[in-house]
Structure 1
């Protein structure tokens, strides 16, 4: 339990405030037309290299996404190929530019594990359309809870976007992790919004 006040974060580490959110019943979608030229594609057994490349393109440079980069190839493949993990990409002209990953491995629940867009798809309602797709896909199975978490490394609008989508915050944590730029998983130029302290 952290006491009130400031707490030192060791050099080479990142501190993030993590907010957990949930949806206990399906909400009505916020209407938005399907963006022109953009399609949702399901990937039954995605290639690990393809997945990692998309993961980096969407989250690494700007937002320091690193968790999936720390998994071995076999460990990541085991997750992605599990029958209760559903992976979709938002595609334009055959190029994967959006990521929607749903995890149904906990009975009666669905976790929105990763959700994001590469820069070419940001704007024009694509994020709302993709979230509507996420909600529809999640509640197409017999669940009573749809949940996710976001943190202070993510886009500043992420938390408010999830709340507008019908998710309700219920828990907050502080996470400490090795800075991926210090341990060589990402270039030092990534995550310019987060100072690098060795």
Structure 2
């Protein structure tokens, strides 16, 4: 399958267009590096979007990845339940949003825009930051690029690559987890 990869950036805090703050959502910095937490979010968020490159990693590989200097995990919680996350990686004046997304049941509730707003604000607070960037692709959620652009990110590069494994089912939380309507809040 041919996949289009779009790179987007902001070059100043003034570029950020904040999203509405939804009720009952908290965004929290996970200050203790945890391979288990990173893997939980990676597989739970990325399962429907073909995030497979780290699925087979050992605990030691995850530990090395999360312990890198400048890496931060931020988690969104809805009514105390993990709803999504973002991983920031700061290096040489740039902050990459390496991973970003929501667990399937929380897509479409306005949580993603708020989470992105908060992590972009944090990225601009890191001393020396002169650019915040990320990439998304046509395998990601159908509203991913729109959310980034709505928050003030501007495309600066587009690539295409063949991904033969994109037609195969992906891992957890389980294939098709986002195919049912989310339950109504109690």
Query: Is the TM value for this pair above 0.5?
Result: yes
State the SS of the aligned residue for 1:170. strand
Residue 178 of structure 1, CA deviation: 5.4
Residue 90 of structure 1 is matched in structure 2 by 76
Q: Is the 1:131–1:165 Cα contact (8 Å) retained in structure 2?
A: yes
Give the structure with higher Rg (CA): 1
One of 148, 155, 172 as aligned partner of 2:141: 155
| Cα displacement string for residues 138-191 of structure 1 (whole angstroms, at most 9, x for unaligned residues) | 100121111000011011221122122111111112234452785x9737x837
Residue 32 of structure 2 is matched in structure 1 by 45
Matches within 5 A, 1:158-173: 158-173=144-159
Residue 22 of structure 1, CA deviation: 1.1
- Give unmatched runs, 5+ long, in structure 1: 1-13, 193-198
Residue 123 of structure 1, CA deviation: 2.7
Q: Which has the higher helix share?
A: 2
TM score, norm. by length of structure 1: 0.76
| Cα displacement string for residues 21-45 of structure 1 (whole angstroms, at most 9, x for unaligned residues) | 1111112433412x22221121123
Cα 1:24–1:186 shift into 2, 3 Å: same
Give the distance between the partners of 1:178 and 1:72, measured in 2 at CA. 24
Spell out structure 1 runs of 4+ moving beyond 4 A. Answer: none
Residue 94 of structure 2 is matched in structure 1 by 109
Residue 129 of structure 1 is matched in structure 2 by 114
Number of equivalenced pairs = 174
Does residue 16 of structure 1 match 2:3? yes
State the SS of the aligned residue for 1:79. helix
- Give unmatched runs, 5+ long, in structure 2: 178-186
Does residue 68 of structure 1 match 2:15? no
State the SS of the aligned residue for 2:28. strand
RMSD of aligned Cα (Å):
2.5
Residue 32 of structure 1 is matched in structure 2 by 20
Residue 119 of structure 1 is matched in structure 2 by 104
